[in-house]
Structure 1
Amino acid sequence: MTTAERLYSRLVTRSQDAEDELPDPVQRDLPRNGLRLVAANTLQSSGDQTVNASTVLPWLFHVLGVPAAFVGLLVPIRESGSMLPQAFLTPLVVRVRRRKWVFVIGAAVQAVSVAVMAAIAALGSGVAAGVGILVALVVFSLGRCLCSIASKDVQGRTIPSGERGQIVGLATSAAGLVAITLGVLIRVLGGEDLDAAALALLLAVGAVLWVLSAVVCARVREPAGEGDDAGAGDGRESAAEDSSPSWFAEAAQLFRDDATFRKFITVRGLLLVSSLSPPFIVTLSIASGTGALAGLGGFILASGVASLIGGRVFGKLADRSSRLLMAGAATAASLVAFALVLIEALPGFDGGAPLGAAVFVGAYFLLTLLHSGVRVGRKTYVVDVAEGDTRTAYVAVGNTAMGVILLVVGGISSALAVLGVQWALVFLAVLGLVGAASAFSMPEVSRGAGD
């Protein structure tokens, strides 16, 4: 047994039946590929912490004197920008026989974009700096788009069902450990007094992490796509063979003819409570007088602890039943949001007091932790539910649809926040409960569901 195989066997609960179904070359490369995918995803997730659109970039805008109106553009550009183009790019991606090279290109684009942000942080200020960073963020999102499309295929071709969720979970936990370290360093070295030079250095570190991610992923031994692109054997045509005249026609056909895909997108669109609630919790805490959460290091630290705990636990649960994981995590996230609104409304509640601050910190931590569960479950489900280019179409068309849904739901919740942040949280919590109920009726695709 090689060192890689021993290490992989210690980290992952292996599914021997599923591994036996893989071609011999894929079986031989499984331990090394698994470890490389964990490393590449860890580096990418760690880089995400250095350019977080909910924490780092708003803080940078404040330091650089960028108008506050620009801050509201960060999250929509970061999230929707990485989703909306995916259906457009799918016809190009499916022509690439080894999808790891698509991931490598996407990681390189992200590295260059973050390096540009670092240069702007060091040299720029005011409106010009804000515009420059937003433009770089648009390019960054396109690179992330390529990685999102390709990563599912690379994992699906090299890792058997029953082990994929653990790969995602391990990377999430490792990135959480990196985030904890980063949060502590920020708190110790600067806290609320971080200047532009320190943030520029932080972004430069992020650029290096994406370069390393590209290098590691390039070493994955991925089989060529001829056998994998045949269309999953379930009667559905592959995306590469689809003769639709446009991405819109292909997407419309997928929505019309594939009930499983429609269900997945519907449920995914309803499970936004864990992803969109945390910024509102931060806003509510500041309005209530909680000063502790205003520190950049505190946000990153809480997120890191949640990822460290959630990644490992949720990875194993996802391999048992990814749909039940999504349903359970979304239900819990909705209950946390409801509970926070009720507690904050109690007479005499003081967010500036230690107990009040603990309530907000705890809610933020729990929402971030549960979002790891929803995210790991969603990623595992889409890898398990389809094969080959059908999987690519699921990811690309689904993410494009989610880009639109995210803008709509984000717009509604933001409008409700004008009336009161509590209303936005209640709206998202209700959607989460509806989505959780819908997830129970999704087809079961996890190999471990019958164990």
Structure 2
Amino acid sequence: MSIKDTIYSALMKRDPTAEADLPAEVRGNIASNGLRIVSANALQSSGDQTVNSATVLPWLFATLGVPPALTGLLVPIRESGSMLPQAFLTPLILRVRYRKWVFIAGALIQSLAVGTMALTAALATGLTAGVIILAALMTFSLGRCLSSIASKDVQGRTVPKGERGQINGLATTAAGFVAITLGLAIRFFGGTDLTNVQLAWLLAIGAALWVGVGLIYTGIREPNQDQDRHNPDTNETEERTNTFVQMAQLLRDDKEFRHFVTVRSLLLVSSLSPPYVVTLSIQYGADTLAGLGGFIIASGIAALLGGRIFGRLADRSSKHLMSIGAGIASTIVLAIVILATIPELLAENWVTNVIFIGVYFTLTLMHTGVRIGRKTYVVDMAEGDQRTTYVAVSNTALGLVLLLIGGISSVLATWHVAFALLFLAASGFIGVFAGARLPNVSRS
């Protein structure tokens, strides 16, 4: 057994039967490919922490004196921008035989975009800096869009069922280490006392990480799978390149896929509620300077713990992991809203900080499980080019849903944050019941 096989076997619970189902040309490279995917995903997840649109970039905007109106655009651009274009880009990506090159192109685009942010942070201020960084973030999202589509296809081609969730979990664990380190650094340096130059160096490190991601991915040995390609007639070709026709037909005709997209859209409680929990904590007197670092550390610990645990659970039953995670998240959100209706229980003291950070930790932990579960589910439910199409169409649909549900929750939050949280919790509970009817696509 080679060193790579020894390391991979130590990290993963392997399934020899599933590995035997892979094409012969990649069967001997499972360990090498798996370790490269783990390393690349870990570096990418680490890079995400340096350009986090919910923490690092808002601090940067505050430091550079960017108008607050632009700060509110960061999360929508980052999240929806990386999802909405996916179905539109799929016809182009399907023409690429080796999808790893699509991923590498996406990684390099992200590196260039973050490098632009770093340079802007060091040299510009005010409105100019904000506009340039938002444009760079849009470019970053486009690169992430390419990588998101290609990564799942490469993983499906080179890693068997039963091991994919563990790979996603290992990358999440690595991101947890980075988040904890970043949170401790923020507490040490004083949070808002960080200078633009220090934040610029942080972004520069992120840009370098994505270069490393691309370099690692070049070594992946991807099979030459032409069996998923067809020689469609003219009408099929025109229909396939018409993104709206493709999305409508897929969602209309593929009942299983439509059900998955619906469930995924309802399970947004764990991803959209944490910012409202932070806002609620501020309203109840939480120390925003100390609490901010605490929230980041809590997020890192959640990823650290959840990555390994949920990776293996996803390989057992990804659909159950999604539903259970969303159910617990909805229950926690409902509990904190009830507590918020009793002011005496949330006085302005350290106990309040601990409660809110504990809630934030639990939500982030559950979101880790939901995210790993749905990533593993969509990879396991299809093969070949169909997998690429599933990933792209589901992400594009979710980008639209994010704008819709995010808009509704934002409007509700103008009355009170609690209304937005109740809306998200209700959506999550509905998603749990809907998810129970999803077919089990996991191997075990």
Shorter-normalised TM range: over 0.9
> Mind listing any 5+ residue stretches in structure 2 that lack a counterpart?
none
The reply on whether 1:307 has 2:303 as its aligned counterpart is yes
- Which residue, 338, 342, 351 being the options, matches 2:334? 338
Does 2:386 align with 1:379? no
One of 247, 256, 260 as aligned partner of 1:251:
247
Deviation at 1:24, TM superposition (A): 2.4
Q: Which moved more, 1:182-191 or 1:192-201?
A: 182-191
Rate the CA distance shift 1:108–1:334 in 2: closer, same or farther, 3 A: same
1:427 to 418, 423, 429: 423
Report the counterpart of residue 264 of structure 2 in structure 1.
268
* 2:13 aligned partner, one-letter code: T
Residue in structure 1 matched with residue 92 of structure 2 by the alignment: 92
Work out whether residues 192 and 289 of structure 2, in 8 Å CA contact, stay in contact via their aligned partners in 1: no
Residue 402 (structure 1) aligned with residue 395 (structure 2): no
Residue aligning to 2:77: 77
Amino acid at match of 1:283: T
Write the mapping of 1:175-194 to structure 2, written as runs, cut at 5 A: 175-194=175-194
Q: Counterpart in 2 of 1:217?
A: 217
CA distance in 1, matches of 2:136, 2:435: 36
User: 2:293 & 2:308 partners in 1: Cα distance?
Assistant: 23
Residue 135 of structure 1: aligned partner: 135
Q: How many residues are paired up?
A: 441
SS at match of 1:443: coil
Structure 1 residue 297 displacement after superposition: 3.2
User: Where does 1:155-170 land on structure 2 (aligned, <5 Å)?
Assistant: 155-170=155-170
Does the CA-based 8 Å contact 2:295-2:361 persist in structure 1? no
1:322-342, CA deviations, whole angstroms, 9 ceiling, x for partnerless residues? 000000000000001011111
CA distance in 1, matches of 2:241, 2:102: 23
Residue 148 of structure 2 corresponds to which residue in structure 1?
A: 148
Label 1:261 to 1:20 Cα distance change in 2 as closer, same or farther (>3 A): same
The residue matched to 1:322 in structure 2 has which SS? helix
Aligned to 2:46: 46
The C-alpha deviation readout for 1:186-209, integer Å capped at 9, x for no partner, is 322343311111111111111011
Q: Displacement of 1:245 after TM fit?
A: 5.1
Deviation at 1:292, TM superposition (A): 4.9
Partner of 2:410: 414
Once residues 375 and 305 of structure 2 are traced to their aligned partners in structure 1, the CA distance between those partners, rounded to angstroms, is 18
State the one-letter code of the partner of 2:256: T
| CA offset digits 1:148-184 (Å, max 9, x no partner) | 1100000000000011000000111111112212222
In 2, distance between residues paired with 1:201 and 1:10?
A: 35
Q: More deviation in 150-159 or 178-187?
A: 178-187
Cα displacement (A) at 1:351:
5.1
What CA deviation, in whole Å up to 9, does each residue of 1:256-310 have, x standing for no partner? 1100111011001000000000110111111111015665533322211110000
Decide whether the 8 Å contact of 1:293 with 1:299 is kept in 2.
no
Identity of aligned residues (%): 59
1:356 aligns with 2:347: no
Structure 1, unpaired ranges of 5+ = 232-236
C-alpha distance in structure 2 between counterparts of 1:106 and 1:351, whole Å: 47
Aligned counterparts of 1:432 and 1:109: Cα–Cα separation in 2: 34
Q: Is the partner of 1:41 in helix, strand or coil?
A: helix
TM-score for the superposition, normalised by structure 2? 0.96
How well do the aligned residues superpose, as a CA RMSD in angstroms?
1.6
Aligned: 1:327 with 2:346: no
1:205 aligned to 2:201? no
Distance 1:153 1:48 in 2: 21
Could you give the per-residue CA deviations for residues 53-97 of structure 1, whole angstroms, max 9, x where no partner exists? 111111111111111111111111000000110111001101111
Q: Would you say the 8 A contact 1:293–1:361 is kept in 2?
A: no
Asked if 1 retains the 8 angstrom alpha-carbon contact of 2:190 and 2:289, the reply is: no
Q: Which runs of 4+ in 1 moved over 2 A?
A: 189-192, 227-231, 240-245, 292-300, 349-352
8 Å contact kept, 2:307–2:368: yes
Residue 30, structure 1, aligned to residue 40, structure 2: no
